[in-house]
Structure 1
């Protein structure tokens, strides 16, 4: 009798083990099937022109990229550069899969690397500004003759190229000094290190009150097509379509509107390459200015 009970117990244990094995095998097969059906999101590096400190940019761009990543089923990784020349060098090498770049950069690297515009801000034209210390009594650009002026970088479009071009056209001689970022321009001018400096309205308006209160806008440039969000040609057509759709759709929700507002952006709209033809007309003059300064 004892032997019969033991054998029955062994058979029962064997059956339980077999069932557990089958269940584990089924779970493994299901997990494999899910992994095949839902591949890991594609990782894309999203470069942002360093108009401000990297920490400031990451704080406002990070949540927007996270939202677009989730909706487009992609993994967008924020990146920038320590200064605008380094950002330009990385664009020239095609290091960014996607990039938020100024109009001059778009025209230049559309030709050199094949970056294609996805979106731009709706109802927005880009203007640069020249700021001076609030304590000065200067009322026009003539007061800047013979002065040393601060700019972010030679290739900073609205904050540097356009102001410099207009000063040259007016025969106002000046000495440019490139300090690396918009914030550095504002800080240097507010501290009296330079007579004036170039920036844009958005970064000026985002300044801490302690710095902004020491500055005033002396002059505003003509208007041009704004910055582009553009993709490198290695990014697939299907990914481009998904990205464009999700970027445009941000304005459809309160959360998306807040994310755009944090950047000082309006709604985004699909962009075409020829939207930047007005900048292409300007480029020859801007390039000649840079060459003259380099001599």
Structure 2
């Protein structure tokens, strides 16, 4: 009798694990439509492989995404390195994976026919950035220019794609992004631009789970993500994201970002 009860409870726990729908929040670096097109096939693959129900989610802009992370609205989230150092503290997201063999670098782009050749020529200019706390696309280039005494006025335009479009249209002389989104942006826009400057590399975006996600579920997710590296179909989906693959990750891998001592979002932790 006890054996039957134990078996029933085991089956019930397994059913609850796999019946739950998990929201996977993606940082809105590009339009929701484009991100859904790129990420939904990956999430379907992970759902089919893991037996979990994983649903795409995002936000209208990066500040809204930050609020949702703080509120713990996503069961799983793909967030920039600085966001991870903040929201691993509160509400306590735990890293499980990241892009394989990748260091994230910010870029400043200008029009292809721009006469600008170095950062100091941007002094006094108004530049486009996705948001104040976009790590590689905004925090790093602004910090570098401040260090060099290059005073600029930042204008926040909500996404990486918006930066590229605004610079291509000549509304700003330069703007911040990252190579992955630059390569993924509309070719008609990208072909009008060139990279003026590139930042040093740091640990890339984190894929992290909310602290309420059970350890068993975390392990199932990691296993499904790593399987993509061994499956040509999985690798093809990751290639659409400009990912070489996925690898398991631990919290201390973002200590290089923590050492920068960025305080932009400290008010959210109070």
Instruction: Give TM-score scaled by structure 2 length.
Output: 0.91
What's the counterpart of residue 189 of structure 2?
A: 211
Distance in structure 2 (CA, Å) of the matches to 1:248 and 1:111: 26
Distance in structure 2 (CA, Å) of the matches to 1:68 and 1:45: 12
Q: Secondary structure at the match of 1:282?
A: coil
Q: Secondary structure at the match of 1:120?
A: strand
What's the counterpart of residue 3 of structure 2?
A: none
Corresponding position: 1:90 with 2:71: no
What's the counterpart of residue 25 of structure 1?
A: none
Distance in structure 1 (CA, Å) of the matches to 2:89 and 2:256: 15
Corresponding position: 1:141 with 2:119: yes
What's the counterpart of residue 60 of structure 1?
A: 38
Following superposition, the deviation at residue 38 of structure 1 comes to 5.4
Corresponding position: 1:235 with 2:213: yes
Structure holding more helix per residue: 1
Distance in structure 2 (CA, Å) of the matches to 1:71 and 1:215: 39
Distance in structure 2 (CA, Å) of the matches to 1:79 and 1:228: 16
CA contact (8 A) 1:84 1:180 kept: yes
CA contact (8 A) 1:100 1:228 kept: yes
What's the counterpart of residue 80 of structure 2?
A: 102
Q: Secondary structure at the match of 2:88?
A: helix
Following superposition, the deviation at residue 230 of structure 1 comes to 0.1
Could you give the per-residue CA deviations for residues 85-109 of structure 1, whole angstroms, max 9, x where no partner exists?
0000100101000000000000000
Among candidates 177, 184, 201, match of residue 199 of structure 1: 177
CA contact (8 A) 1:49 1:80 kept: yes
What's the counterpart of residue 237 of structure 2?
A: 259
Among candidates 24, 28, 45, match of residue 46 of structure 1: 24
- RMSD value over aligned CA atoms? 1.7
Among candidates 220, 237, 243, match of residue 198 of structure 2: 220
Among candidates 240, 264, 267, match of residue 287 of structure 1: 264
Following superposition, the deviation at residue 283 of structure 1 comes to 3.0
Following superposition, the deviation at residue 274 of structure 1 comes to 0.6
Q: Secondary structure at the match of 1:131?
A: strand
CA contact (8 A) 2:125 2:173 kept: yes
Distance in structure 2 (CA, Å) of the matches to 1:175 and 1:232: 36
Distance in structure 1 (CA, Å) of the matches to 2:42 and 2:19: 17
Question: Which of structures 1 and 2 has the bigger CA Rg?
Answer: 1
Distance in structure 2 (CA, Å) of the matches to 1:46 and 1:38: 20
Q: Secondary structure at the match of 1:202?
A: helix
Deviation beyond 4 Å, 4+ runs, structure 1: 35-40
Where does structure 1 lack aligned partners over 5 or more consecutive residues?
1-34
Distance in structure 2 (CA, Å) of the matches to 1:69 and 1:85: 28
Among candidates 195, 202, 226, match of residue 248 of structure 1: 226
What's the counterpart of residue 185 of structure 1?
A: 163
Following superposition, the deviation at residue 133 of structure 1 comes to 1.2
CA contact (8 A) 1:104 1:283 kept: no
What's the counterpart of residue 124 of structure 1?
A: 102
Where does structure 2 lack aligned partners over 5 or more consecutive residues?
1-10
Distance in structure 2 (CA, Å) of the matches to 1:273 and 1:132: 35
